[in-house]
Structure formats: structure tokens, C-alpha cells
Amino acid sequence: MIALLTRDLRLAVRAGGGFGLGLAFFLIVVVLVPFGVGPETALLGTIAPGILWLGALLACLLSLDRIFALDWEDGSLDLLATAPLPMEAVVSVKALAHWLTTGLPLVLATPLFALLLSLPGAGYGPLVLSLLLGTPALSVIGTFGAALTVGIKRGGLLLSLLVLPLYVPTLIFGAEMARRGAEGLDTTTPLLMLAGISCGTIALLPFASAAVLRVNLR
Amino acid sequence: MTVHVSDLTVTRGGVAVLEGLSFALRPGEAVVLRGPNGIGKTTLLRTVAGLQPARAGRVEAPPESMVYAGHADGLKATLTVSENLTFWARVFGQGAIGPALDAFELCPLADRQAGALSAGQKRRLGLARLLVTGRPVWLLDEPTVSLDVDAVALFADAVRAHLAGGGSALMATHIDLGLAEARVLDVAAFRAAAPDAEDFDEVFL
Amino acid sequence: MNLNALWEYANPKKFIRTTERVLPWVSVLSVVALVVGLIWGFFFTPDDYRQGSTVKIIYLHVPAALMAINTWLMMLITSLIWIVRRHHVSALAARAAAPVGAVMTVIALATGAIWGQPMWGTWWAWDPRLTSFLILFLFYLGYMALWEAIENDDTAADLTSVLCLVGSVFALLSRYAVNFWNQGLHQGASLSLDKEENVADVFYWPLLVCIAGFVLLFIALVLLRTRTEIRARRMRALLARERMR
């Protein structure tokens, strides 16, 4: 499992691996928003939690189709399926690698981007915590979507159509927690719900992902 | 480590292509699958490997005994030759990759990125992967594609050494590898009869 | 009653033969129920003292909304049957039901918007119920798109079944999340087993007839579409066999 993880991380940071693309996309979204809604600090501060959550979510979405597509094309997936690793482990490691290369950098960069959108001072902690809790769920759900569409040529658009509705609960609780934090309200309920969604998806969804991947390989 | 295939029916796209296949693959034995294109050799190999379910019949093999090598080599262009091999060795819980590099004369290329290799060199790397898995049963789909004469000889030597060590191989190939131990299985004889039009159950036929 | 006898209809041939006889009856009954229910509801019930004649849109809105949810439930059940028992008709019925459910969702949303304009003063509000229905519509779209995108029928049936299962869990989660996110304008349930909460009796009976009409219409459409799917499937299988010869 560690071999697979290190290989995926190494592939991501090598040339053409796409590492950093999500982060750049996130930055562009954050830069474009003031052009769209105007430069007023008060307005930007109000919508900052939502914009940052949406930006992070879309940045996650961008790199989903790479999770399995490359391994599918070069035959690695067939070989992994006959390897001693159970498919569930392969899927989980893939999701973890996706989170480490996409989700985690987004979480770390968020405070900087929040500065650009004049997020109120109280909002930084809850925002980063909500993304830290929520992005693993985004990666795991996205891995399920990627496993569903791996056999489909040009499945990128379909992947978005399938995955975005599944992102709704995570987005609602995550953005709600960030918003409440920015307004200085209690964040316990959305925090617990968000943590629950992440734990639930991490524990259960890999079984579904592995099942659909096996179907796609046959 | 014997693989028993009994009364196997394999399907492609929901339609049976080969049926009633039975054979045994014993240690030290190689079986070469022959038959025209499209007869279902690849489908048979994938079914035996467990990648797709059989419609009928059984494949009995010790767990984790087989390794499959298909048309694609599963190589990562941005990893070096030795990184590619080391990855598969670790996935299969094995150690050294030196012997595998030697067997396919890949040592001079060890630090080259796989993307910079020629087609034949890539194939050699893909075949070297078989050696680092440590699995006794090889399932090979057209293993000699894009190999030159010398490389085919290397491959034949590797198979011979594998068989001598108690391994076995099931391969689909048109090239005569000069393996004395090899047994030819012509799968054309097992071509599935076209389904009966009145049999509306199951697959809507 | 012997429940096992039910599985006989999983045989495509038997299904086609049985539905051949049932379909005309269901179709006629659904038309009768819809005509009676809608005419009764539109012309022979009084206007509401607060809502005026706009209240009458419930004869379309409530049945459509009910069927929008129940269609997904039916797809979930047929998907489970496909996963567990591998009956092809079951998977095809789920496929056949999806567009019907999507249209029902659109009817519920559209009639709701038309009613909301005079009553709430807006075509659309981000009310939990409205939002959940919009999300449900997205799930239908994704489900149908996945069916269309995959060439191999059995693979498509497997993948869409798992999507339906996972989607159901997330749809429920979304429902609670949306409730938490915004308290709404929408009134309570129009129908419930608890009599106190129901709409007044004069609206109740024509509404029940309309619901019966929608249910029958749904059954008729799903049977019809499933028959089409079975025949399309048979056609593809026959073509595949021709190619093999």
C-alpha cells in the first residue's frame, strides 16, 4: 500500500503530473470573484467562506479524472487488480494520494486566499478546520465518481455531473461551518455533521468504489 | 500449484465466445493458446486471471498464484525503469529487481525514464515485471509483440528458467518460442455455438 | 400467496406476454382517473378562502411530487433486485423509470413555481423542499447520463445500480443538510395518515383520484418503456450474434 502511495505521489510531482494545477485554479477563482461582484470589502468578507469552499470544491473536481484514467490507459489497473492488494485498499490509497496532492495544499493555501477576500479575523480557524475535515470526503466521493466513469471515453463532464450532486451535503455543512465561524456563531453542529460525513464516506464508500472498479475492469 | 480449468464458458460483451474449455496447467508446464483473431484468447486469459467472471465452469488455482500481462505494460512514462520495477516488486511483496533487469538486459537502461524507451524496450520492461512478482503462474497475452529476434530469445530463456523453477505459463502467442515443454491448445475447437433464437431467457436471445 | 411466483416475471418473454394484456387496462384506467380527478378538482371544488383558485394546482403538484420521490424509491428497489438476483428486467425497469421520475420532478417544480408566484410573490425561493427537489432532479440527470454513456448493457446496469444505491444515501443526507441550511416557506404535508394535518375533505377526495391517476400513468409508462428497453436489448443481442457468425 505504501508502495502505491509513494508511486502516486511521485507521479503527481514529476513533470506532467498535474500537481499544483488545482491550487492555481483555486487562486484564479479567488481572483476572479472580486471582478464579478465588485471590490467592496464588506461584501467580499460576507461571501468569502462560501467562495473559498466553492473554489476548493471545484479545484478538487478538476483533478478527479486523473485518479484512475491514467492507470486504466496504461494497463496498471489490470495489473493492480491481480496484485495481492485488495481493490478496496487500492481505492483508498488512490483517494488518500488525491487528497495529499490536491486537498491538503488547498487547505494550507486557504488562509492566504482568505486574506485576498478580506475574511473577518474570527473566520480563519473555522474555515481551515472545516476544509481540513471536508476535503477528505470530497476526495473519497470523487474517487467513487472516477471509478464509475473510468471506462468511458471523455468521461470528464459526466464525472462532474455525477459527483457534484454527491458533494451537496459536504458543501452545505462545510460552508455553513465556515460562515458561522466568520460571523462568530457556534459551529458545533455543522462541525459534527461534517466530521460525520467524512468518517462515513471514508469508511463505507471505498467498498462501493472497489465494486464499480471491478465491474469496469471485466 | 496446478491450475485446473473445467468446463469453462467465457463471454465477451454478454455473448459466449468459448465454451466447454477444460485443461490443467501443471508446474513446469507451458500451454500455448492458438486460434484466429477474435476467437477469445484474451477473454480466456482475463477470465482465468479473475479479471472477469466466467458464465459457466470453474477456474481452480491456489490463491495469489497468478500474474497477468496483457497488451499494455502498465508502465509510468515519468518513472525510471528501476522505479517502475521496484514499485511492482513492492506491491507483490518482493525484494530485489536485479535478476529481472539482468534477464531482459535492462541494466544499462535502469536509470532511463520509461517514456524514453523504444516499444521493444518497454515490452522487455513489462515482461521483467513478471519476474519481480514471484508468482508461479504466468498468464501472458501476446508477450512477444514488438520484440526483436534477440529479445524473443531472452524471453524464451526467461520462460524456460521459470518452468525449470517449477513455474508454469499460459500464453497466447503466434511465435514459436522453441519451448520443448510447451503444449499447444487450439481454442478454435471450443468456439461457442451461436445461441438459439428461441432461448429468450438470460441474455435476451 | 406464493411470493416466489413473482420472479417468473423476471423472464423477459413472460414479462412481454403479461404486460401485453395488462398495459391497455392500466392505460385506460389512468386516463379515466386523471380526467375524472382533474375535472372534479378544477371545476367542482370551491376556491380556498385564502388562496383563491390557485389552490387547484395541488391536483397536479402533489401527485407529481409524490411520484417524483416514489420513482426513485422504485429504482432503488429494482436496482437492489438486479444486484442481488441479476434479473435483467429489473435493471431495465429502473432504466425505464428514470426519465418518468425526472419529468415528474420537473412537473412538481414547475407547478410549484407557478403557484408560488402569486402566493409567495416569487417564482423561486431556496426553500428546503424546493431545493431538495432540484437536487433530486440532478440525481436523475446523472443516473440517466451514466446509462447513456456505457456501451455494455450489463456493465451499465451494474454501475447505475451502485450509483442509485449511493445516490439514495446522499439524497437523504442532502435532504437533512438542506433542512439544516434553511428553514422554509413550504407548508406541511398535504396528505398524511394523521387526519388532523390533512387538507380539507372537499379537496381530499379529488386529490386521491388524481394521485391514483398519476400512479396508474406511471405504471403504464414504466411498463411501456420497459417493453421498449427489452426489445432494444434483444435487438442488440441478435445483432451481436449475427456478427459472431
φ/ψ (deg, to 5) at A204: -105, -40
Instruction: Give the SS3 label for residue C45.
Output: coil
Mark yes or no for CB contact C145/A161 under 8 Å: yes
Q: Please list, in sequence order, all residues whose beta carbon lies within 8 angstroms of the beta carbon of residue C204, skipping any fewer than 6 positions away.
A: C191, C198
pLDDT at position C51: 67
Write out pLDDT tens, residues A179-188.
Answer: 888 888 888 8
Least confident of A21-25, B17-21, C76-80, C240-244: C240-244
Output Rg (C-alpha) for chain C, integer angstroms: 20
d(CA C161, CA C231): 21
Residue B92: is its pLDDT beyond 60?
yes
Give the residue from chain B lying closest to A10, CA to CA. Answer: B79
Yes or no: say if B125 and B106 are a contact pair by the CB < 8 Å rule: yes
pLDDT at position B62: 81
Write out pLDDT tens, residues B93-128.
Answer: 877 787 878 778 878 887 888 888 888 888 888 888
Query: Chain B closest CA to A76's CA: distance in Å?
Result: 4
Residue B201: is its pLDDT beyond 60?
no
C186 grid coordinates: 413550504
Mean pLDDT along residues B41-68:
85
Write out pLDDT tens, residues C13-22.
Answer: 888 888 888 8
- pLDDT band of residue C200 (cuts 50, 70, 90) is low
C193 grid coordinates: 395518515
DSSP type of residue A20: T
Greatest mean pLDDT among B193-197, C196-200, C218-222 lies in: C218-222
Give the residue from chain C lying closest to B192, CA to CA. Answer: C244
Residue B25: is its pLDDT beyond 90?
no
Amino acid residing at A21: L
Q: Which residues on chain C are in Cβ contact (under 8 Å) with A161? A: 138, 141-142, 145
* B-contacting residues in C 74-113 (Cβ below 8 Å): 88
Query: Chain A closest CA to C237's CA: distance in Å?
Result: 19
Mean pLDDT along residues C220-230:
92
pLDDT at position A84: 84
Q: Which residues on chain A are in Cβ contact (under 8 Å) with B72? A: 73-76, 78
Q: What is the share, in percent, of chain A residues with pLDDT greater than 70?
A: 98
Least confident of A21-25, B197-201, C54-58: B197-201
| Higher pLDDT pick, A29 / C196 | A29
Mark yes or no for CB contact A82/B90 under 8 Å: no
pLDDT at position B100: 78
d(CA A144, CA C159): 11
Amino acid residing at C208: L
Q: What is the share, in percent, of chain C residues with pLDDT greater than 90?
A: 39
| Higher pLDDT pick, C118 / A95 | A95
Among candidates C151, C116, B88, which has minimal Cα distance to A3?
Answer: B88
d(CA B114, CA B102): 17
Yes or no: say if A173 and A198 are a contact pair by the CB < 8 Å rule: no
Beta bridge partners of B21: B8
Mark yes or no for CB contact B51/A217 under 8 Å: yes
Average pLDDT of chain B is 81
Which of B71, B93, B129 lies nearest to residue A84, judging by beta carbons? B93
pLDDT at position C187: 63
Residue B54: is its pLDDT beyond 90?
no
Amino acid residing at C177: A
d(CA C218, CA C206): 18
Yes or no: say if A210 and A90 are a contact pair by the CB < 8 Å rule: yes
Q: Is B24 in the C-facing interface, judged by CB distances under 8 Å?
A: no
From 1.10.540.10, 3.30.565.10, 1.20.210.10, 3.40.50.300, which CATH number describes the B29-53+63-181 domain? 3.40.50.300
Among candidates B165, B188, B203, B199, which has minimal Cα distance to B30?
Answer: B165
Q: So where are chain B's domains?
A: 29-53+63-181
- pLDDT band of residue C29 (cuts 50, 70, 90) is very high
Write out pLDDT tens, residues A102-142.
Answer: 889 999 999 999 988 888 888 898 999 999 999 999 999 99
Measured torsion, CA atoms of residues A110, A116, A121, A124, in degrees rounded to the nearest 10: -10
Give the residue from chain C lying closest to A176, CA to CA. Answer: C181
Query: Chain C closest CA to A65's CA: distance in Å?
Result: 15
Least confident of B4-8, B27-31, B72-76, C240-244: C240-244
* C→A interface, C-beta within 8 Å: 135, 138-139, 141-142, 145-146, 149-150, 155, 158-159, 162-163, 165-167, 170-171, 173-174, 176-178, 180-181
d(CA B188, CA C171): 50
Average pLDDT of chain A is 88
Pairing of β B182-186 and β B137-141: unpaired
- pLDDT band of residue C198 (cuts 50, 70, 90) is low
Average pLDDT of chain C is 84
Query: Chain B closest CA to A105's CA: distance in Å?
Result: 22
Yes or no: say if A136 and A157 are a contact pair by the CB < 8 Å rule: no
B19 grid coordinates: 465454451
d(CA A141, CA A134): 11
String of DSSP letters for B140-161: EESTTTT--HHHHHHHHHHHHH
Among candidates A95, A123, A121, A102, which has minimal Cα distance to A57?
Answer: A102
| Higher pLDDT pick, C176 / C245 | C176
Neighbours of chain A (3+ CB pairs under 8 A): B, C
Q: Which residues on chain A are in Cβ contact (under 8 Å) with C173? A: 168-169, 197
pLDDT at position C96: 93
| Higher pLDDT pick, C53 / C82 | C82
A4 grid coordinates: 502505491
Write out pLDDT tens, residues B138-148.
Answer: 888 888 888 88
Place of cell 389552490: C55
pLDDT at position C31: 93
pLDDT at position C189: 60
Neighbours of B56 (CB within 10 A): 13
φ/ψ (deg, to 5) at B172: -105, 115
Q: Is B201 in the C-facing interface, judged by CB distances under 8 Å?
A: yes
d(CA B201, CA C156): 19
Residue B203: is its pLDDT beyond 70?
no
DSSP type of residue C48: B
Pairing of β B137-141 and β B168-172: parallel
pLDDT at position A17: 64
Residue B163: is its pLDDT beyond 60?
yes
> Does the complex come out with an ipTM higher than 0.90?
no
Among candidates A67, A148, A47, B194, which has minimal Cα distance to C240?
Answer: B194
A53 grid coordinates: 469552499
Yes or no: say if C63 and C206 are a contact pair by the CB < 8 Å rule: no
Beta bridge partners of B140: B69, B171
d(CA C134, CA C117): 17
pLDDT at position C5: 61
Residue C197: is its pLDDT beyond 50?
no
Q: So where are chain A's domains?
A: 2-11+25-217
Which of A3, A75, A218 lies nearest to residue B90, judging by beta carbons? A3
Beta bridge partners of B58: B6
Yes or no: say if A110 and A132 are a contact pair by the CB < 8 Å rule: no
- pLDDT band of residue A147 (cuts 50, 70, 90) is very high
- Interface test with chain C among A144, A163, A172, by most C beta carbons within 10 Å: A172
C30 grid coordinates: 389512468
Residue B200: is its pLDDT beyond 50?
no
Mean pLDDT along residues C92-111:
93
Residue A78: is its pLDDT beyond 60?
yes
φ/ψ (deg, to 5) at B93: 70, 30
Tell me, rounded to whole angstroms, the distance of Cα C204 from its chain centroid: 21
DSSP type of residue B80: B
DSSP type of residue A99: I
C93 grid coordinates: 425497469
pLDDT at position A168: 92
Q: Is B194 in the C-facing interface, judged by CB distances under 8 Å?
A: yes
Q: Which residues on chain C are in Cβ contact (under 8 Å) with B14? A: 152-154, 237, 240
φ/ψ (deg, to 5) at C135: -65, -40
Mean pLDDT along residues A147-175:
89
pLDDT at position A119: 86
Q: What's the Cα-to-Cα distance from C233 to each of A48, B14, B195, C53, C236, rounded to whole Å? A: 51, 11, 15, 47, 5
